[in-house]
Structure 1
Amino acid sequence: MSRQITETVEKIALPILEAEGLELVDVEYKKEGQNWFLRVFIDREGKPIDLDDCSRVSERLSEALDEADPIPGAYFLEVSSPGAERPLKKEADYRKAVGKNVYITTYEPIEGQKAFEGVLTRFEDNQITVEEQGKTVQIPLDKVAKARLAIVF
C-alpha cells in the first residue's frame, strides 16, 4: 500500500518540480508513532535548496494531493532537501556520485560483507564499483538494499 502511495505521489509531484526546475530525489510514506508522514525530498543542480523552494513546492503539492486524494486518512506533508547524505535511488544518482564517498548495504553478503563504505569509482552495466580501504568491490545494482552519499571526516 505505501509503495503504491509513493508511486502515485511521485507522478503528481514530477510536473510540479519540473515546472520549478527541481529534481525529485525520493518520496517516503511511513508511520511514526501514531502519525503518518509523507516526505518529499527535492534537489537542484548547482544551487542549494532553500526554505522558499520547500514552501513553494509544499503549497503546490498539497493542493494537487488534496485534489487527487491518493492517501486515505490524515498525514503530515514534509518537503525538504535530501541533505548531505543524499540517498542514491536511480541510475542517474549513481552516475553523479562517481568519485564521491558512498555507503552501501546489500541484501546478501558480497565477499563476506553486507556494508561497504568507500569511493564509488565506476557505475556501468548495472554494477557499482567501490574502492574500500585499498580493495575494489563490485556490487550488482539489484543486490543493493540502500545506498547514500557518505560524509568523510
Structure 2
Amino acid sequence: MNVSSAASRPATDRVVAITGAGTGIGRATAHAFAAEGATVLVIGRRGRPGGSVYAATKMAMELFTRTWAVELAPRGIRVVAVAPGAIGTPIGKHQGLTPEQLAALREWQLAHTPMRRRGTPEEVARSITYLASPDASFITGAVLPVDGGAVVA
C-alpha cells in the first residue's frame, strides 16, 4: 500500500498490524498525511535485552520514515524521525519494574552509552523542534539519533 494514495483506515491498520509497527505512532502518522506540507515526526528507540518485539516495531517505523519520505516528497511532506536512546523518564516504573530492576536497567543504559549519562526529555524535544522547523526544510528520510552515541558504540 502506498500511503500517498487515499488509503482507508482498515487498510492502514492492516499494514500497521502486519509490519508489527502497531506503536500507535504509525497509525497516527499515516492518518496525518492528509495535511499537505506537514512535517511528520516518527519516534524510534534502540532496543535492549528482552525488548526484541518492541525493537522490531521501532525498526519498522524507521523503514516507514524512509519509504514515506520518498513517497510523500512530491506533496511537499517531509518525513523525519528522532531515535532517542536512554532517556531519564519514569517509564520503567510504569512498566512495573522493581527498584532493583530499575537500577540494573540504568546500569545497562550507562554502560552502552558512550556519554555515560541518560538524556533528558527536553533534549529530545529540542531535536524534534529543530526537525519540525523551517531550519530543517531540506531534511527528509533521516533518523536523528539522540542517544549519547549509543548508535555508534
TM-score, normalised relative to structure 1 = 0.26
Higher CA-based Rg: 1
Q: Which has the higher strand share?
A: 1
TM-score (norm 2): 0.26
Greater share of helix: 2
